[in-house]
Amino acid sequence: MAAEAGGRGGRCVRLSAERARALLADVDTLLFDCDGVLWRGETAVPGAPEALTALRARGKRLGFITNNSSKTRAAYAEKLRRLGFGGPAGPGAGLEVFGTAYCTALYLRQRLAGAPAPKAYVLGSPALAAELEAVGVAAVGVGPEPLQGDSPAAWLSAPLEPDVRAVVVGFDPHFSYMKLTKAVRYLQQPGCLLVGTNMDNRLPLENGCFIAGPCAGRAGRAAGGPAGGRAGRPLRPLTGRPRPSPPAGTGCLVHAVEMAAQRRADIIGKPSRFIFDCVSQEYGIDPERTVMVGDRLDTDILLGVTCGLKTILTLTGVSSLGDVQSNQESDSASRKEMVPDFYVDSIADLLPALQD
Ligand SMILES: [Mg+2]
C-alpha cells in the first residue's frame, strides 16, 4: 500500500510497519533531531540505536540536526558512537552532524566573505568559538566577563575589540550585564551582524524531563529573512504540584540582546530554513525523498513542513498527540503547519519494517 501522508492536510497517522515499509522505499535520507529522539541526557532511547543501525544497513543516509550550540560536530559524533548510533570515526567524524555551532560558522563565513580577518563577539561556548575559528572567523568574548567599573559611564567605556563584524548569541552560562552592554556597543557599529544560534526557551534536562511550552515568536524566524510572528500558545496556568523547571535556553539570551539593541537577530537553528540549507548543500538532498524525525512540533516538524520534507513525530520527547490535536484545531495558520505526516511512540517502531 502507499504510505498515507497527513501534514498539511491535517492528518497525523500512526506509522505502522506496513506504512513504514512503503515510506522507507521512497526515501534516501533521514534527518534526526537528537535530544528526545535518539537519547535523553546520557541514555539512548531503547531500540533507537538498533533502528539507526538497520537504516544504515539498508543504505539510508542519516543526518543529525540539533539546535544545541554547546557542542562541536566532533563532540556530537563521539556521543553518537558512544551511545551505539554508529557513524564515521577518524577524519570523517562529525560529517553527519549539523549543529547550530557549525551552521552559525557557515553563515558567518558566507555573510562576512571578503571581510579582512573576520571577527565575531561571541556570547557562547568554547565549542561555538571553535567552530567559528575552524572556518576562519576569529571569536572573542568567550568566558566570564565581570562588570567593569561602578557606573554606566564606566560600563560604556570598557575597551572593545577592534574590527568586530558580528555579535553571535548562543548558549552562554556566563551571560552577564557587561556582555550585554558590550554586545549592544558592537551592534551600534555600522554593518555589524546580530546572529542567534536558536530560539529554544528551555534547555532539555539530563533526566529527559522537559517543559512542553513553545517559545513565542520562534515560528517563522529565519537567518537573513524577515522576523516572523509572535504567535505562540498562551502560557499554561500553574496547577497541581510544580514540575522541575529546566534552565532558561538560548532564546532568552537572544531576546535580551534584541531588546537592548532594538534589532532582530538572524536565527540559524530549527525551524529556520538555513540549517536545512546547510544539510542540503552538503548532502545534495531531494526534499521529496527525505524524512525529518523530531520530538518537537514547533522546531523539528515545522522545519520539515516548511522545507517540503516528510515528517515523523516521535513521542519520546517534548510534544504529545494532544499538542498535535491542539494545532490541528487551532485557527492559527502557523500552528496548522506544525502537524506531522506520521507519528511513532519511539523510533524503535521503525525496526519491524527494517527486519525482513
Ligand atoms: Mg528534541
Residue labelled with grid coordinates 537577530: 265
How far does the centroid of ligand 1 lie from the alpha carbon of residue 33, in Å?
A: 6
What is the overall mean pLDDT for the chain? 89
On the question of pLDDT at 241 being above 80, the answer is no
Q: State residue 239's pLDDT score.
A: 57
On the question of pLDDT at 230 being above 60, the answer is no
Angle between helix 100-111 and helix 126-134 axes, rounded to 10 deg: 40
Q: State residue 216's pLDDT score.
A: 38
Cα atoms found within 13 Å of the Cα of residue 216, Cβ hemisphere only: 7
Would you say 92 and 61 are in contact if contact means Cβ atoms under 8 Å apart? no
Q: State residue 1's pLDDT score.
A: 41
Comparing 2-6, 37-41, 46-50, 83-87, which segment has the lowest mean pLDDT? 2-6
On the question of pLDDT at 132 being above 60, the answer is yes
How far does the centroid of ligand 1 lie from the alpha carbon of residue 36, in Å?
A: 5
pLDDT grade for 203, boundaries at 50, 70 and 90: confident
Would you say 55 and 21 are in contact if contact means Cβ atoms under 8 Å apart? no
Higher pLDDT: 137 or 235? It is: 137
Distance CA 288, CA 310 (A): 7
Distance of CA 354 to the CA centre of its chain: 28
Binding site annotation covers 270? yes
Higher pLDDT: 241 or 214? It is: 241
Would you say 21 and 355 are in contact if contact means Cβ atoms under 8 Å apart? no
pLDDT grade for 141, boundaries at 50, 70 and 90: very high
Residue labelled with grid coordinates 510534544: 319
Higher pLDDT: 177 or 246? It is: 177
Q: State residue 204's pLDDT score.
A: 75
pLDDT grade for 169, boundaries at 50, 70 and 90: very high
How far does the centroid of ligand 1 lie from the alpha carbon of residue 164, in Å?
A: 33
Distance CA 158, CA 173 (A): 21
Distance CA 49, CA 150 (A): 54
Radius of gyration of the chain (CA): 21
Distance CA 111, CA 268 (A): 13
3 state DSSP class of 169: strand
End-to-end CA distance of the chain: 17
Residue labelled with grid coordinates 539530563: 206
Distance CA 336, CA 339 (A): 6
Binding site annotation covers 179? no
Averaged pLDDT for residues 183-198: 97
As a residue count, the chain comes to 356
How far does the centroid of ligand 1 lie from the alpha carbon of residue 185, in Å?
A: 34
Q: State residue 206's pLDDT score.
A: 59
Q: State residue 242's pLDDT score.
A: 66
Specify the DSSP class assigned to residue 8: G
Distance CA 88, CA 45 (A): 21
Burial environment of residue 242 by CB neighbours within 10 A (0 to 12, 13 to 18, 19 or more)? exposed
Peptide bond before 244: cis, by omega within 30 degrees of 0? Answer: no
Residues 6+ apart with CB under 8 A from 10: 328, 336, 339
- What amino acid positions are annotated as catalytic residues? 33, 35
Q: State residue 202's pLDDT score.
A: 86
How far does the centroid of ligand 1 lie from the alpha carbon of residue 209, in Å?
A: 11
Specify the DSSP class assigned to residue 202: B
On the question of pLDDT at 217 being above 80, the answer is no
On the question of pLDDT at 302 being above 80, the answer is yes
Distance CA 271, CA 301 (A): 8
Q: State residue 246's pLDDT score.
A: 81
Binding site annotation covers 298? no
Q: State residue 235's pLDDT score.
A: 52
Would you say 97 and 57 are in contact if contact means Cβ atoms under 8 Å apart? no
Binding site annotation covers 182? no
Higher pLDDT: 155 or 238? It is: 155
On the question of pLDDT at 354 being above 70, the answer is yes
3 state DSSP class of 133: helix
Averaged pLDDT for residues 117-140: 97
pLDDT grade for 355, boundaries at 50, 70 and 90: confident
Q: Which three cell numbers stand for residue 128?
A: 561555538
Q: State residue 222's pLDDT score.
A: 55
